[in-house]
Amino acid sequence: MKPTQQVVIFAVDDQRLALPLSAVERVVQAVEITPLPKAPAVVWGIINVQGQILPVFHLRRRFRWPERELALNDHILIARTAQRRVALVVDAVAGVLECAAEDTVAPDAVVPGLEYVAGIMKQPDGMIFIHDLEKFLSLGEAQQLEAALAS
């Protein structure tokens, strides 16, 4: 039996991305994001999810893609890192995909220095980047976020 990995596939603009299913809690309809003063630039703001304040990561800003306003049909993907629950604004969620280990390559094998990518899935219709939320924030950004959330 070959090892497989389950991932949640989502889209931001024309980019197909993924997170390990084990890191994803749920997907909700987009809500208003409250700006968080003194937060790192890659943090869009905060949202309240069932009484818990979650930072919203700004994927477009992190990857230097063109920014746009939040749209009514956007979704928010709620996920977990080792330190906290976080939210990601995405255009759409395609679902869960099971990928065999031989269909995934290490990011350094394709482009050295892809620091936020855990792997790249080869699919018949293109590539899907599997993101590593643990590396989304630099150490300095994580400390800046902690300070902003505490104030």
**What does each of the 151 residues of the chain score in pLDDT, given as a tens digit?**
457 889 999 999 888 999 999 999 999 999 999 999 999 999 999 999 999 999 999 999 988 899 999 998 999 999 999 889 999 999 999 999 988 878 788 766 666 666 778 888 888 888 888 888 888 888 889 999 999 999 8
Backbone angles phi, psi at 148, to 5 degrees: -65, -40
Number of domains in the chain: 1
CATH number at 125 reads 2.40.50.180
- In angstroms, the CA 69 to CA 26 distance is 22
pTM of the predicted model as reported, rounded to 2 decimal places:
0.85
- Domain with 100 in it: 4-150
Residue 7: exposed, middle, or buried by beta-carbon count in 10 A (0-12, 13-18, 19+)? buried
